[in-house]
A and B are shown apart, each in its own frame.
Chain A
Amino acid sequence: MADRVIYAMYDDDEVLMDGAKKLVSEGVHITDVFSPFPIHGIDPIIGVKHTRLGIVSFMFGLLGMTLAVIGFKYFMIDDWPMNIGGKPNFSLLENYPSFVPITFEFTVLFAAHGMALTYLLRNKTLPGMPADNPYPRTTDDRFVMEIRLSDNTKFSADELHTKIKTTDIVEIEEKDYVVVK
């Protein structure tokens, strides 16, 4: 059987938060929330875990730094040492001060782009991707809770409707759940 989903629309972020708190305390599992801007404090309520992208960025930074060091060690020390104004050209360590800028730039380059790419891939936001917000106004001034019936097997659809209607909603709709992407 196709999964059904209930969309509950609110017109204020704080009202949605209060509603979410109430519903969660009653045992309703809120699958997702669509909002036009980040609602601070909603994540722990609906059980969204903190992202690990920060770690990703750190690891990409390390990768960039390593590549930079390997690169200029090979170019400048091993393969073709250049004698420039008598500056040390035979040991990586002694030559290192003039490699600091490149090390830094490469680290930042990798950390930033690595994280940004991971972010886009994980979000599935790439050029040409279809949007899957249920109502166009969720990018303007509407806040929508997505409550999937398969996540809430202990309640019937009617029970869920009643529960949601006790919060201060603007609209409520039940649909077949369609995976857009």
Chain B
Amino acid sequence: MAADVRLMKTAAELALADAFAAVKSTLPGDAAVAAQRTAAFETFASVGLPHRRVESWRYTDLRALLREAPPLASAAGPEALARSLAACPMLAGMEARRIYVVNGAFVSDISDLANLEPGVSISSLATALGAADPLVAHLGQTVASSDAALALNTAFMGDGVVIALAEGATLSRPLHLVFVTTEATATAAYTRSLLVMGKGASAQVIESHEGPAGAAYQVNTALEVVVGEGASLERVKITAEGNDALHISTLLARVADGAKLANANFTLGGAIIRNQLLVQLAGEGIDASLSGVSLLAGKQHSDTLLAVEHIAPNCQSREQFRTVVDDTARDIFQGRISVRQSAQKTDARMMSRALLLSDTAESDNKPELEIFADDVQCGHGCTTGSLDQQLKFYMMSRGIPEKEAEALLIQAFVGEVIDAIGHEGVRAALTDATRNWLIERK
């Protein structure tokens, strides 16, 4: 049955098609890139916006949630740029190299590009595409995916950050990619970034996303990462979009022999948030950690899709996800560990836990194992429930007020993930952010 061919296209799908036709000739890149864009849009057009019959989107019906396709965001004015400098206050005190992407455009004027460490280059994607930089050959080549939201990103990608670390290069301080939306009207921004790490390179990268409250803007962002042999990457992504925003993010990471990858997602803000993490452990002896914390309230809807693929032998992966859901918010976690026949001696463990704080909060959890190699140790666990009433009572009997007891328990719950973050400053900032979230909680 050709069930995918639908006669009716939604208004948003039609608007996206119109928008692509209108802007494709103005988007950066040579003929090859243009062809890539067209192919990606065709992929999107053949299936449309993901809906609940698409297994990986079964809990987030984008066809119903994405009603409009707003115009592409335009460049920010001087006043907006000045405001952008104050973005991500939770990391304000932290020593970092800050790179700004405002309204979907890399802004070199306010970015810290001076005195780059040896072997390190940072540039804008638009520039790299325009100059046919050889690095852009990595685009779309890290991890294969036919995801429709990613296809939209490929079709529309306007700008982003291109980072390369040569063999042995090390960042002396964390790199903070600050993504900001400044416009108060509904806009759309499609950013695509690239991080290519040579043999033995090492980096800490923080990515933050934010924008104004009350604006129904849309962000579709993607990062492709190549972690070279023996390289080490710690990435923390903070999603703190405005309360009406729709945020879709895709991480595509390909990891080589003996490398180390630690990725943590911290999700606070946004109306609809979708984080896709597609990770391929392509070399032997990799140590990978994928983790996440979501703090959701109001009507927030957060969906994390994780697919870790073990391809080579002797790799270890740890997946740890914690989510706290209040009010009528909904959290979704779909995690899959796949172990190919070639990936003997894989050691993979995934744990996802949801804490529901209100009668109307919701949690959907789908931890999946797909195993084709016999000499493996794989497992997953998952729990859903409310706060442990006995623990709460115990704390209250020692004189701790109820609200505080709850806060302590919640902090301990998410602390299991936050405490594992390597960078001390980030760890402290996320701990504080959790505390603030708890204070603001009614």
Q: Do A and B come from one complex?
A: no
